[in-house]
Amino acid sequence: MSAFTLFPRPILYIVLALLAACGDESSPTPAASAQAPQAFPASLDRTDTLAGLDHNLNGVRDDVEQWINSHDTLSLSAQQALLRYAHIMQQTVLAAAQQPPRALELARQQASAQACLAGQAELKPNAVAWSRRLRQITANTEARVRAHLAYSAALDGRSWSLPLQEDCNAH
C-alpha cells in the first residue's frame, strides 16, 4: 500500500508543502544566530578532579568562566545569567554523591537559572543551545559525566515545579 492510497492526494500535497516550508533548522536565521554560543574552548580543563581549577573560588571552573567571558558582545546581565547557570551545573557535578533532597534542591536552582537564561533577550532565541553547551563543557571528562549522571539518577522519579517567573537574583 503506497502513501497515495493511505492519504487523499490533496492532504498529501499539503503535508509535503508544510514540510518543505519548514526549512532546514541547522541554518538559523541571522537574528537567531547573532548570539549563539561559540565553539568549545581550545583549552578545556581535563584534570582528574571533579572541581577542576577555580582560582577565584566563585564556583565556576576557570575555563568555563573564560569561555563565557569570551562572548564579549553579550551584556553584563547575560554573562551573569550564564555564570549562574554554569555555577549550578558545576554544583550538579560536585554534589553527585549527595542525597536526593540535595539533588532536588539543585534541580530547582537549575530550573530557575534556566528561566533566567531564557529571560535574557539576547540569549532567548538560543537559550537551550547555551544551556546545552554549558552542560557539555562542564561535564567534559569521564569522571564529570559519571558525576552528572549520578546527580540525574538521584532525581529519578522525583518532580519539582518550574519557577513562575524568572529570578535572576536568586544566585
pTM (two decimals):
0.74
Q: What is the pLDDT of residues 84-98, one digit of tens each?
A: 999 999 999 988 666
Is residue 104 a contact partner of residue 136, using CB atoms and an 8 Å limit? no
The pLDDT of residue 59? 94
**Picking from 100-104, 132-136, 145-149, which range would have the lowest pLDDT averaged per residue?**
100-104
The whole-chain average pLDDT of the chain stands at 78
Distances (CA, A) of 40 to 73, 82, 91, 113: 17, 15, 20, 21
- From CA 110, how far away is CA 104, in angstroms rounded? 10
Is residue 90 a contact partner of residue 64, using CB atoms and an 8 Å limit? yes
The pLDDT of residue 144? 92
Give the cell for residue 132: 546545552
Query: Domain ranges in the chain?
Result: 60-171
Half-sphere exposure of 127 toward its Cβ, with a 13 Å CA cutoff? 17
- From CA 1, how far away is CA 7, in angstroms rounded? 11
Please calculate the CA angle 136-49-171 and round it to the nearest 5 degrees. Answer: 60
Instruction: Note the residue count of the chain.
Output: 171
Query: In 10 A of CB 99, how many CB atoms?
Result: 9
